[in-house]
Chains A and B, each alone.
Chain A
Amino acid sequence: MKSISKLFVSSPHTRTGLTTNQVMRTVCYACIPGIAAQTYFFGWGVIVQALLCIIVALTAEAIILSLREKPVRATLADGSAMLTGLLIALSIPPLAPWWISVIGVSFAIIIVKQLYGGLGFNLFNPAMAGYVVLLISFPVAMTNWLPVQQVMTYDISFLDCVSSIFTGFTLDGYSVTQLRIAVDGITMATPLDHFKTQIDLGLTASEITASPIYGDYGGTGWEWVNLGYLIGGLLLLKQGVIRWHIPFAIIASLFTFSLISYSITPDLSLPPMISLFSGATMFAAFFIATDPISASTTIRGRLIYGAIIGALIFMIREWGGYPDGVAFAVLLTNLAVPLIDYYTKPAVYGHKAKV
């Protein structure tokens, strides 16, 4: 009967909820509705990119881990590298050339994540940092979004996508630029991009949004993609993987600023609903900004963090040089996190004003 439990373990003796591995995997699964919508509207390229990016992410992480003499298998199993790869894949244009993905993902994993010390130590959101590096270095390739398939002149198959990503041309020999020419012969841009250029040309908002690339309440196709990520995000909320503060604050802040702007200058501003359901809004609100490592950790801090991101997204879209500001908004706010955390420390028990 003596010495049954030999191991010294400190209390508590049990735990609950998802483990970190499960959390990361759940986030990947929650992307599925968004991925499905994205694939439906933008073709198989989305899936090809996702696979490519995940493989690159895992490889890069494995190499660095073995160089740093850290356990490779156990760490890869935490799913964080896979998630970073996936998030980058979903951010870049589906037919972007393969080396774009390789550079972006490698940068994210090697520089932003591992050189900062690995999981849990990175100041910046790796996926967004990788994305921004790509956007700055290869602005053309990174804004080459195809129009939604439904208004495209050519049908492209899965193999066309693979071929296009790796060689630059579809099996029939079309380049991405050729593919971007829509039925009516106009080169297509994303709704946010389009809006910006058209406003600069002197058109009013209502004239612009009459174009077929805008749907009922967002960009055609984009509204469904956003809806997909919204659904995935709500699932994450329900699973307790993320908490409501950050998505709520982002959406509320973006909506408020859009509404103010729209009510002051309705001719020059994107309608608030289009703001929410275009570009990467929902993706950012539920999947990017909620990355716990680079976000604020206190409750009040998370609300502030989200509100700043929402405001920055609005400002960059409205006044910045880039059509969508999600990545910049997140990275800039990442920088403010230590400060936000410091000033939003909750009052510890017994440290309130003396009774």
Chain B
Amino acid sequence: MHSELSLIEQVKSGKLWDIPGGIHPPERKSLSNSTKIDIIPLSPFYYVPIKQHIGNEGKLLVKVGEQVLTGQPLTDAIEGLSLPVHAPTSGVIKDITPHVSAHPSGKPEITIVIESDHKDTVFTTKPIKNWQTSEAASLTKHIQSMGVAGLGGAAFPTYVKTNPTKDIKLLIINGVECEPYITADDVLMRYFANEITQGINILQHMVQPELVVIAIEDNKPEAIEAIKLAVKDQDTIEVRVIPTKYPSGGEKQLIEIVTGQEVPSKSIPADIGIVMQNIGTCFAIKEAVIDGKALIHRVVTVTGESISRPQNLWVKLGTPISDLLTHCGLVAEQDQRLIMGGPMMGFNIMDTMMPVVKSTNCILAPSEYNLPSFGVEQACIRCSLCSDACPVNLLPQQMLWYSKAKDHEKLEEYNLADCIECGVCSYVCPSQIPLVQYYRSSKVEIKQEKEDKIKSDKAKERFETRQLRLERDKQARLLKHKESADKRKKALEKDGNAKDKIAAALARAKAKKASTGETAPISADAQTTNTQDKVAAAIARAKAKKQAQADSETTATVSSESQDSEVGSAEAVEAKSAEQIKKDKIAATVARAKAKKLKQAAENKEQGESN
């Protein structure tokens, strides 16, 4: 309790903490942040993937050939972690088909193709004007139905975070934007500070934190001014200017900077009473609640030395990247690299038909001169530049060694799972080793291994259940034998009027034998079965526990290539819900097993008594 009380006091004191390591890459933000946010003209076609967030895709609501309006829902959220997507403009649905996805692999995903009618007719939705008096639950539902996801990079469904199960003390608004080149949040804060503040107020109403801290890096003086002005009358909102350093905008890193606390490994910020939202998300919340607008556009920075008019644009989700590049004038150099996201955590765009999605904050076309790419990988010379720079205090050089050796146990011992894939280690490595790439593949391998293990465990369990069943059948047969023996014995006793002494003695002897030789083994057997059952149940319980744990770990290790804040919590929350479902299932199984066992025991007891 004490630490929680002092958390707010500590934060209020304005003290800032430092994170270990970190780097100061050239920022190159002035390329794109000097102009207002422009609007890109309508594209002829929009490609809307039905899954643009962490979690499940929604259920399709539309068919090919159907007419849709701007902002009309195209899918409906299903149970579990799920968000709908909406039509970015009015037009006709041309196709619903796999299309290159905004993912590092570019793996085709189901995408709704809309041919624009260039009218942009708006679908009427209901805003919640009186949100101050609305219940948090109905606001949460509304935010979900408007498709709002974290716009910092991970696209984690926002409604989960606005509906925390834990008591929240501190709400941190992440305006750090520490990746070089990207200025989407910067310009949003400059020109939409009031809207952002409204969004924050809605969040305050829903989450009820004691304090809100808006954290902005000191390389954005204009944004800081604008935000300070917008919140000057609100004494529960504080603006914290933090020193520029990459990766200060990582969720866990920012929490450390603002509070001096660490989110324990495999936990989420809410576990220590903190929730974090991105600047862009606050804006989207405001639009969803106050204007009744679904999330169908966002600010995207189109920048890099190969772009003739680098700038920030309001881009409708689903716009193909090629349209952005044409609009901003790409002058490609030889082997031009195209990156979605920033230079530190973004991924290569392999196909410019890739659409802008909820998590797209930047399209970067750098020159080789200004953003030199990697040369040939050389041997690790253990110079420790990587470990000195790692913001999580990992030992990348050791993890590299074990990653190459595929020693997954050692990788866990060296806490690979806590790697946030920020890229700092690769950035400083003199041997030009793509360390993060090694870690990503190791994480995938470990996940695979765990899944395989679960499968083989299941097979083993099936085998054991079968053994148990066979054993029970045998038991039943024995019982039957005993019953018939008893019957014979009784019959014998009934017509035992012959009164022959010898016969009587024989009968006694027989009876004795029956009770010691026959009954005893059975009751012993019954006991064994009983204990066996108990042991089996215990094993099953232990296994279930292990499995649930393994499961949560696996999910927590899922690599996510996305930027900035919401990465960590996204995974953890997903892990949590998955774990919950798993646990429920297992609990049910255990309950069933227990009931069976009880029944069995009762039967045995009955049999024993009837003897």
Q: Which residues of A contact B (CB under 8 A)?
A: 1-23, 74, 78, 80, 118-121, 243, 292-293, 295, 297-299, 302, 341, 345-352, 354-355
Contact = CB atoms under 8 A, between A and B. Distances in A.
Contact of B381 (A7, A20, A348): A20
Contacts of A352: 262
B385 A350 contact: no
A283 B565 CA distance: 46
Given A12-B427, A12-B436, A14-B343, A23 B418 contact: no
A13 B346 contact: yes
Contact of B344 (A11, A18, A80, A121): A11
27 contacts: A1-B326, A3-B350, A3-B351, A11-B423, A11-B436, A11-B561, A12-B344, A12-B423, A13-B343, A15-B372, A16-B428, A19-B378, A19-B430, A20-B431, A80-B381, A120-B379, A120-B380, A120-B382, A243-B384, A292-B384, A297-B382, A298-B384, A302-B384, A346-B387, A349-B391, A350-B418, A355-B261
Nearest to B265: A350
Q: Indicate the member of B267, B336, B423 with the most A CB atoms within 10 Å.
A: B423
B374 interface: yes
A128 B456 CA distance: 52
A348 B343 contact: no
Contact of B265 (A5, A20, A348): A348
B583 interface: no
Interface in B115-161: none
Contact of A349 (B252, B336, B366, B421): B252
A12 B418 contact: no
Contacts of B351: 2-3
A11 B392 CA distance: 18
A6, A19, A243 pick with most chain B CB within 10 angstroms: A19
A293 B428 contact: no
Given A4-B338, A14-B373, A355 B262 contact: yes
Contacts of B414: 345
Interface residues of B, number: 78
A297 B387 contact: yes
B486 interface: no
Given A14-B427, A292-B382, A348 B346 contact: no
Interface in B546-584: 561
B543 to A, nearest CB: 27
B219 interface: no
A349 B381 contact: no
Contact of B350 (A8, A15, A23): A8
B426 A15 contact: yes
Nearest to B430: A20
A16 B23 contact: yes
A208 B343 CA distance: 63
Given A5-B348, A120-B379, A297-B387, A13 B428 contact: no
A22 to B, nearest CB: 7
Given A20-B378, A350-B418, 12 more contacts: A4-B336, A5-B336, A5-B337, A8-B348, A11-B345, A13-B373, A14-B371, A15-B428, A19-B378, A119-B379, A298-B395, A348-B265
Q: Which 7 A-B pairs have the closest CB atoms?
A: A12-B423, A350-B265, A120-B379, A10-B437, A292-B383, A346-B393, A349-B392
A287 B397 CA distance: 22
A17 B381 CA distance: 15
Contacts of B374: 9, 14-15
A292 B427 contact: no
A277 B3 CA distance: 52
Interface of B: 3, 20, 23, 25, 104, 252, 256, 261-267, 272, 322, 325-326, 332, 335-339, 341, 343-353, 366, 371-376, 378-385, 387-388, 391-395, 397-398, 414-415, 418, 421, 423-424, 426-432, 434, 436-437, 440, 561
A350 B264 CA distance: 4
A6 B372 CA distance: 17
B322 A1 contact: yes
Contact of A22 (B341, B349, B393, B430): B430
A1 B382 contact: no
Contacts of B256: 349
Contacts of B391: 349
Contacts of B372: 14-15
Contacts of B338: 4-5
A12 B252 contact: no
B395 A345 contact: yes
B101 to A, nearest CB: 15
A19 B375 contact: yes
A119 B377 CA distance: 13
A257 B23 CA distance: 38
A4 B332 contact: yes
Contacts of A19: 375, 378, 430-432
B264 A354 contact: yes
Contacts of A119: 378-379, 381
Nearest to A299: B388
Contacts of B350: 3, 5-6, 8
Contacts of B382: 120, 292-293, 295, 297
A10 B377 CA distance: 14
Nearest to B376: A74
Contact of A23 (B267, B325, B430): B430
Contacts of A9: 337, 348, 373-374, 434
A179 B434 CA distance: 55
Contacts of A351: 264-265, 415, 418
Contacts of A355: 3, 261-262, 264, 272
Contacts of A121: 379
Contact of A13 (B262, B339, B384, B397): B339
Contacts of B381: 20, 23, 80, 119-120, 292-293
B366 A348 contact: no
A242 to B, nearest CB: 9
A305 to B, nearest CB: 11
B2 to A, nearest CB: 11
Contacts of A6: 350
B344 A348 contact: no
Nearest to B378: A20
Given A3-B350, A20-B431, A74-B376, A348 B385 contact: no
A354 B372 CA distance: 41
A16 B343 CA distance: 12
A278 to B, nearest CB: 29
Contacts of A297: 382, 384, 387, 395, 397-398
A276 B352 CA distance: 63
Contact of B394 (A12, A22, A348): A348
Contact of A17 (B336, B341, B428): B428
B379 A13 contact: no
Contacts of A354: 264
Contacts of A298: 384, 387, 395
A2 B353 contact: yes
Nearest to B419: A348
Contacts of B379: 20, 78, 118-121
Contacts of B263: 350
B201 to A, nearest CB: 28
Contacts of A12: 343-345, 423-424, 426-427, 436
Contacts of B393: 346-349
B34 to A, nearest CB: 23
Nearest to B353: A2
Contacts of A78: 378-379
Given A4-B338, A5-B336, A15-B426, A10 B378 contact: no
Contacts of A5: 335-338, 348-350
B325 A1 contact: yes
Contact of B348 (A7, A118, A120, A347): A7
A350 B252 contact: yes
Contacts of A118: 379
A5 to B, nearest CB: 5
Given A1-B325, A78-B378, A293-B381, A13 B336 contact: no
